[in-house]
Protein backbone atom coordinates (compact mmCIF):
# COMPACT_ATOMS: atom_id res chain seq x y z
CA UNK A 1 0.00 0.00 0.00
CA UNK A 2 1.27 3.48 -0.88
CA UNK A 3 1.32 5.81 2.09
CA UNK A 4 -0.74 8.90 1.22
CA UNK A 5 0.79 12.34 1.39
CA UNK A 6 -1.19 13.41 4.48
CA UNK A 7 0.09 10.41 6.42
CA UNK A 8 3.65 11.07 5.28
CA UNK A 9 3.32 14.70 6.38
CA UNK A 10 2.02 13.59 9.77
CA UNK A 11 4.96 11.23 10.35
CA UNK A 12 7.45 13.80 9.09
CA UNK A 13 6.01 16.40 11.49
CA UNK A 14 5.95 14.10 14.54
CA UNK A 15 8.84 14.32 16.99
CA UNK A 16 7.94 11.21 18.99
CA UNK A 17 5.95 8.11 18.17
CA UNK A 18 4.99 4.72 19.51
CA UNK A 19 5.88 1.38 17.94
CA UNK A 20 3.62 -1.60 18.68
CA UNK A 21 4.02 -5.21 17.56
CA UNK A 22 3.08 -8.82 18.22
CA UNK A 23 5.71 -11.40 19.13
CA UNK A 24 5.76 -14.99 17.90
CA UNK A 25 3.37 -16.10 20.63
CA UNK A 26 0.89 -13.33 19.79
CA UNK A 27 1.72 -11.18 22.80
CA UNK A 28 1.55 -7.41 22.16
CA UNK A 29 4.44 -5.04 22.93
CA UNK A 30 4.96 -1.29 22.60
CA UNK A 31 7.89 1.12 22.87
CA UNK A 32 8.36 4.88 22.21
CA UNK A 33 10.47 5.72 19.16
CA UNK A 34 11.58 8.53 16.88
CA UNK A 35 9.41 8.22 13.74
CA UNK A 36 11.26 8.68 10.44
CA UNK A 37 10.58 8.30 6.73
CA UNK A 38 12.80 6.25 4.44
CA UNK A 39 11.61 7.53 1.10
CA UNK A 40 7.84 7.25 1.40
CA UNK A 41 7.85 4.50 4.02
CA UNK A 42 7.64 4.84 7.82
CA UNK A 43 10.86 3.78 9.51
CA UNK A 44 12.72 3.66 12.82
CA UNK A 45 16.53 3.76 12.96
CA UNK A 46 17.74 1.79 15.99
CA UNK A 47 21.36 2.27 17.11
CA UNK A 48 23.18 -1.02 17.54
CA UNK A 49 22.82 -0.76 21.32
CA UNK A 50 19.15 -1.62 20.64
CA UNK A 51 19.89 -4.43 18.18
CA UNK A 52 18.00 -7.03 20.21
CA UNK A 53 14.89 -4.85 20.27
CA UNK A 54 15.15 -4.10 16.55
CA UNK A 55 15.43 -7.78 15.69
CA UNK A 56 12.49 -8.71 17.92
CA UNK A 57 10.28 -6.18 16.14
CA UNK A 58 11.55 -7.27 12.71
CA UNK A 59 10.55 -10.87 13.51
CA UNK A 60 6.97 -9.81 14.29
CA UNK A 61 4.19 -10.76 11.89
CA UNK A 62 2.71 -7.28 12.18
CA UNK A 63 3.68 -3.92 13.66
CA UNK A 64 2.23 -0.43 13.88
CA UNK A 65 3.76 3.02 14.11
CA UNK A 66 1.59 5.54 15.93
CA UNK A 67 1.93 9.33 15.97
CA UNK A 68 -0.34 10.48 18.80
CA UNK A 69 1.56 12.97 21.00
CA UNK A 70 1.04 16.56 19.85
CA UNK A 71 4.05 18.00 21.69
CA UNK A 72 6.92 19.40 19.60
CA UNK A 73 5.09 18.65 16.36
CA UNK A 74 5.51 20.53 13.10
CA UNK A 75 3.14 21.83 10.49
CA UNK A 76 0.96 19.17 8.90
CA UNK A 77 0.89 16.92 11.95
CA UNK A 78 -2.17 14.87 12.79
CA UNK A 79 -2.64 11.74 14.91
CA UNK A 80 -2.40 8.59 12.84
CA UNK A 81 -1.50 4.90 13.06
CA UNK A 82 0.03 2.90 10.21
CA UNK A 83 0.09 -0.90 10.35
CA UNK A 84 2.01 -3.38 8.25
CA UNK A 85 4.78 -5.92 7.99
CA UNK A 86 8.15 -4.88 9.44
CA UNK A 87 11.43 -5.59 7.67
CA UNK A 88 14.96 -4.87 8.77
CA UNK A 89 17.82 -3.25 6.89
CA UNK A 90 21.23 -3.75 8.53
CA UNK A 91 23.17 -0.58 7.83
CA UNK A 92 26.43 -1.64 9.48
CA UNK A 93 28.54 1.16 8.02
CA UNK A 94 25.90 3.86 8.54
CA UNK A 95 25.79 4.92 4.89
CA UNK A 96 22.02 4.59 4.51
CA UNK A 97 21.38 6.39 7.78
CA UNK A 98 23.82 9.20 7.00
CA UNK A 99 22.43 9.85 3.54
CA UNK A 100 18.69 9.29 4.10
CA UNK A 101 17.82 9.66 7.77
CA UNK A 102 20.46 11.69 9.59
CA UNK A 103 18.87 15.10 9.01
CA UNK A 104 15.50 13.86 10.26
CA UNK A 105 16.99 12.40 13.45
CA UNK A 106 18.98 15.55 14.22
CA UNK A 107 15.81 17.61 13.87
CA UNK A 108 13.64 15.32 15.98
CA UNK A 109 15.99 13.88 18.58
CA UNK A 110 18.20 16.60 20.15
CA UNK A 111 20.51 14.19 22.08
CA UNK A 112 21.84 12.98 18.72
CA UNK A 113 23.22 16.44 18.02
CA UNK A 114 25.91 16.02 20.66
CA UNK A 115 27.12 12.90 18.85
CA UNK A 116 26.68 13.33 15.09
CA UNK A 117 25.90 16.97 14.27
CA UNK A 118 29.16 17.59 12.38
CA UNK A 119 31.73 15.60 10.39
CA UNK A 120 34.14 15.84 13.32
CA UNK A 121 31.56 14.50 15.78
CA UNK A 122 30.59 11.73 13.38
CA UNK A 123 34.21 10.59 13.17
CA UNK A 124 34.57 10.67 16.94
CA UNK A 125 31.26 8.87 17.58
CA UNK A 126 31.42 6.57 14.55
CA UNK A 127 29.60 3.82 16.49
CA UNK A 128 26.38 5.87 16.54
CA UNK A 129 26.02 6.01 12.75
CA UNK A 130 25.52 2.28 12.04
CA UNK A 131 21.83 1.50 12.38
CA UNK A 132 19.26 -1.24 12.16
CA UNK A 133 16.64 0.46 10.05
CA UNK A 134 13.20 -0.99 10.61
CA UNK A 135 10.92 -0.22 7.65
CA UNK A 136 7.16 -0.73 7.78
CA UNK A 137 5.54 -2.04 4.60
CA UNK A 138 2.18 -0.42 5.29
CA UNK A 139 -1.08 -2.23 4.62
CA UNK A 140 -3.44 0.10 6.54
CA UNK A 141 -3.54 3.62 7.94
CA UNK A 142 -6.17 5.00 10.30
CA UNK A 143 -6.69 8.10 12.44
CA UNK A 144 -6.38 7.87 16.21
CA UNK A 145 -7.27 10.31 18.95
CA UNK A 146 -4.72 12.96 19.83
CA UNK A 147 -2.93 12.63 23.16
CA UNK A 148 -2.91 16.35 23.88
CA UNK A 149 0.11 17.36 25.90
CA UNK A 150 1.11 13.71 26.13
CA UNK A 151 -1.95 12.77 28.20
CA UNK A 152 -3.44 9.32 27.81
CA UNK A 153 -1.76 6.13 26.68
CA UNK A 154 -1.31 4.02 23.56
CA UNK A 155 -3.16 0.70 23.59
CA UNK A 156 -2.04 -2.36 21.63
CA UNK A 157 -4.25 -5.45 21.60
CA UNK A 158 -3.72 -8.88 20.09
CA UNK A 159 -7.23 -9.01 18.70
CA UNK A 160 -6.96 -12.27 16.78
CA UNK A 161 -4.58 -14.40 14.72
CA UNK A 162 -1.79 -11.97 13.77
CA UNK A 163 -4.27 -9.10 14.17
CA UNK A 164 -2.95 -6.03 15.97
CA UNK A 165 -5.40 -3.38 17.19
CA UNK A 166 -3.90 -0.03 18.19
CA UNK A 167 -5.66 2.98 19.66
CA UNK A 168 -5.12 5.91 22.01
CA UNK A 169 -7.04 5.85 25.26
CA UNK A 170 -7.62 7.57 28.57
CA UNK A 171 -8.31 5.96 31.91
CA UNK A 172 -11.78 6.40 33.34
CA UNK A 173 -10.97 4.72 36.62
CA UNK A 174 -8.89 2.06 38.36
CA UNK A 175 -10.00 -0.44 40.96
CA UNK A 176 -9.97 -4.10 41.97
CA UNK A 177 -7.18 -4.89 39.53
CA UNK A 178 -9.00 -3.46 36.52
CA UNK A 179 -8.80 -0.24 34.50
CA UNK A 180 -11.71 1.22 32.57
CA UNK A 181 -10.59 2.74 29.28
CA UNK A 182 -12.13 5.09 26.75
CA UNK A 183 -10.91 5.52 23.19
CA UNK A 184 -9.80 9.08 22.46
CA UNK A 185 -11.26 8.64 18.97
CA UNK A 186 -14.49 6.98 20.13
CA UNK A 187 -13.54 3.64 18.58
CA UNK A 188 -15.04 0.33 19.68
CA UNK A 189 -12.82 -1.67 22.02
CA UNK A 190 -11.05 -4.86 20.98
CA UNK A 191 -10.75 -8.03 23.04
CA UNK A 192 -7.56 -9.92 23.80
CA UNK A 193 -4.14 -9.68 25.45
CA UNK A 194 -3.22 -5.99 25.70
CA UNK A 195 -0.48 -3.60 26.67
CA UNK A 196 -0.81 0.06 27.61
CA UNK A 197 2.18 2.28 26.85
CA UNK A 198 2.67 5.62 28.57
CA UNK A 199 5.76 7.78 28.25
CA UNK A 200 6.97 11.26 29.04
CA UNK A 201 10.00 13.29 28.04
CA UNK A 202 11.77 16.48 28.96
CA UNK A 203 10.99 19.20 26.43
CA UNK A 204 12.45 20.46 24.26
CA UNK A 205 15.76 18.61 24.82
CA UNK A 206 14.45 15.00 25.15
CA UNK A 207 17.43 14.32 27.40
CA UNK A 208 15.07 12.28 29.58
CA UNK A 209 12.53 9.97 27.96
CA UNK A 210 10.77 7.56 30.29
CA UNK A 211 8.34 4.81 29.19
CA UNK A 212 6.14 2.55 31.32
CA UNK A 213 3.79 -0.28 30.40
CA UNK A 214 0.76 -1.98 31.92
CA UNK A 215 -0.20 -5.46 30.75
CA UNK A 216 -3.36 -7.48 30.98
CA UNK A 217 -6.39 -8.69 29.07
CA UNK A 218 -8.90 -6.30 27.54
CA UNK A 219 -12.59 -7.11 27.33
CA UNK A 220 -15.46 -4.67 27.01
CA UNK A 221 -13.22 -1.59 27.44
CA UNK A 222 -11.99 -2.98 30.77
CA UNK A 223 -8.38 -4.06 31.22
CA UNK A 224 -7.75 -6.77 33.81
CA UNK A 225 -4.23 -5.94 34.98
CA UNK A 226 -1.63 -8.71 35.07
CA UNK A 227 1.55 -6.60 35.17
CA UNK A 228 1.76 -3.00 36.43
CA UNK A 229 4.77 -0.67 36.31
CA UNK A 230 6.67 0.02 39.51
CA UNK A 231 6.55 3.74 38.75
CA UNK A 232 5.14 6.11 36.16
CA UNK A 233 6.14 9.61 35.17
CA UNK A 234 9.31 11.26 33.97
CA UNK A 235 12.57 10.19 35.58
CA UNK A 236 14.41 12.89 37.59
CA UNK A 237 17.13 15.01 35.98
CA UNK A 238 20.56 13.46 35.51
CA UNK A 239 23.72 14.85 37.01
CA UNK A 240 26.86 15.41 34.96
CA UNK A 241 28.42 12.11 35.98
CA UNK A 242 25.22 10.23 35.17
CA UNK A 243 25.08 11.77 31.70
CA UNK A 244 28.72 10.84 31.04
CA UNK A 245 28.10 7.31 32.29
CA UNK A 246 25.05 6.95 30.06
CA UNK A 247 27.02 8.02 26.98
CA UNK A 248 29.87 5.65 27.79
CA UNK A 249 27.38 2.80 28.19
CA UNK A 250 25.74 3.67 24.87
CA UNK A 251 29.12 3.69 23.12
CA UNK A 252 30.15 0.40 24.67
CA UNK A 253 26.86 -1.32 23.84
CA UNK A 254 26.91 -0.09 20.23
CA UNK A 255 30.52 -1.25 19.72
CA UNK A 256 29.87 -4.61 21.39
CA UNK A 257 26.79 -5.26 19.25
CA UNK A 258 28.68 -4.35 16.07
CA UNK A 259 31.52 -6.66 17.08
CA UNK A 260 29.35 -9.63 18.04
CA UNK A 261 26.30 -9.14 15.83
CA UNK A 262 24.00 -9.11 18.86
CA UNK A 263 22.93 -6.50 21.35
CA UNK A 264 24.66 -6.23 24.67
CA UNK A 265 22.43 -7.33 27.58
**Annotated domain spans of the chain:** 5-260
* pLDDT tens-place string over residues 141-181: 999 999 999 999 999 999 988 899 999 999 998 888 999 99
Whole-number pLDDT of residue 175 = 82
Per CATH, the architecture of 5-260 is what?
Roll (2.30)
Whole-number pLDDT of residue 261 = 62
* pLDDT tens-place string over residues 12-47: 999 999 999 999 899 999 999 999 999 999 999 999
Low-confidence ranges of the chain (pLDDT < 50): 262-265
Whole-number pLDDT of residue 257 = 96
Q: With helix as H, strand as E and coil as C, how does the chain read?
A: CCCCHHHHHHHHHCCCEEEEEECCCCCEEEEEECCEEECCEEEEEEEHHHHHHHHHHHCCCCEEEEECECCCCCCCCCCEEEEEEEEEEEECCCHHHHHHHHHHHHHHCHHHHHHHCCHHHHHHCHHHCCEEEEEEEEEEEEECCCEHHHCCEEEEEEEECCEEEEEEEEEEEEECCEEEEEECCCCCCCCEEEEEEEEEECCCCCCCEEEEEEEEEEECCEEEEEECCCCCCCCCCCCHHHHHHHHHHHHHHHHHHHHHCCCCC
Amino acid sequence: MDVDSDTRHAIRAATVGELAWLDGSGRPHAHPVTPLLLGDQPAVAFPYAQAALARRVAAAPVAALVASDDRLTGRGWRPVAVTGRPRLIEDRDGTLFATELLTQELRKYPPARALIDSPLLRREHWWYLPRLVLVLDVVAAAPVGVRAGGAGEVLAVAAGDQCLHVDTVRRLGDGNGTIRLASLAGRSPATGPAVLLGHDFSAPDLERWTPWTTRGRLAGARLTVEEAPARTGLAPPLGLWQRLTRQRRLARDCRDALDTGAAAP
